[in-house]
Amino acid sequence: MRPNIVSEAGLQTRLGQWWESIPFLTSAVVFVCGIIYFVCLLVGYDSFLEVCFLPSAVVSHFQVYRIYTSILFHGSLLHVLFNMMALVPLGSELERIMGSVRLSYLIILLATSNALFHIVIALLAAYNPFRSYEYFMNECAIGFSGILFSMIVIETTLSGVQSRSVFGLFNVPAKWYAWILLIVFQLLMSNVSLLGHLCGILSGFAYTYGLFNFLMPGPTFYSSIEASSLLASCVRRPKFILCTGGNPSSFIPTHSSQSTTSSGLFSGNVWRNLSSWMPQRETSSQSTEDSRFPGRGRTLSGVQNQTAAAGNLDSNLQARLLDNSDTQHPPNTARTVTGQQLSEGRRAAENAATIPAGAPARHQDSVASEEQIQKLVAMGFERTQVEVAIAAAEGDLTVAVEILMSQQG
């Protein structure tokens, strides 16, 4: 019997495959942060007071560069390893959805908003009329963890899971995952920046509820950057993910991205909005197939497998459109699809939806509930497209969002 080449691959080969699976920007951030730490280690540089985020220095001396240098420097080997290992899954998932250029803009935006939140809270603590607390003004914060907390909030918004595991020890509701991590880190490590992590969570929620939408440029902005000669060598790299095919609104769908006059954060019952901000799905019927949407943005290995998955998805979508046209229109309505075309579409769907032996069977007769439809409509998508996407995704809201985003742009 032919040996299993994948299982017998060496450590170097597996590390190479793992590194190649990381998208361009995420791997670039990991590389830059790692190089900066090891260069500082080799030359003996430990004057982090010059590059850390220090609110008193930013306010009094206007040292704005600290906002961005502080996220690239790390204080210890465990610090940089832990942050980068956490960045790989979070950054990779968001980069595949948003694109490399758009995610880089988001990181800069989150770094800036984190710093502004940090300064405002530090000033309120130091100069409030009740009790002055100047510790936060002189706190020196470095590391990428503030951005990571923002990414956790944003990624959890799209994940659709109902619970998250904290270091494999216990599960917590997904909506409280970032807050639980904040408390756990403060209890386990005394030298972490409470205010830095807290501001990251606040920035993540601000972005999720659309408070930064006015700062997000249109798709032509990202297209012009991708077409510039300065990034030509980067765009040609196989790991670079273009922004084409994504959400034309240039941000992940949020509650306030719908065309209404009221904001999802401030209208109606605030507690109801906060408790229902995350999409829900059944966790018992998870698919083993690749759930990332097809398109030019996916650059992980297996181009042929990606093409086949895209063909299956299109066939399923067309067949379900045919099925929906049969059930939604009354008998007295003029039909545009003949019985022969409907049968051929169903047979094509059955042939395209065949899966390998050993894979779990998916539920083929999933019906979109009104609650699921309303959640995606609240994200800014049209109801008709939402119904078709949920049907094609077989009730999986995460896949439905990716289908809708891949159809736009």
Which residue of the set 197, 203, 257, 406 is catalytic?
197
CA distance 104 to 389: 29
User: What is the distance of C-alpha 205 from the center of its chain?
Assistant: 13
CA distance 303 to 119: 47
Examine the residue annotation and report whether 118 is marked as an active-site residue of this protein.
no
Strand-strand pairing, 163-166 and 170-173: antiparallel
CA distance 172 to 178: 10
Beta-bridge partner residues of 170: 166
Beta-bridge partner residues of 165: 171
Cα–Cα nearest to 401, from 164, 385, 409 = 385
Instruction: DSSP for 105-170, please give it.
Output: HHHHHHHHHHHHHHHHHHHHHHH-SS----TGGG--B-SSHHHHHHHHHHHHHHH--SEEEETTTE
Which residue of the set 113, 145, 159, 256 is catalytic?
145
Helix (H, G, I), strand (E, B), or coil: what is residue 173? strand
Please give the C-alpha separations between residue 360 and each of 121, 182, 240, 285, in angstroms, as whole numbers. Answer: 50, 37, 32, 9
Examine the residue annotation and report whether 163 is marked as an active-site residue of this protein.
no
CA distance 404 to 386: 7
CA distance 33 to 36: 5
Looking at the annotation, which residues are catalytic?
A: 145, 197
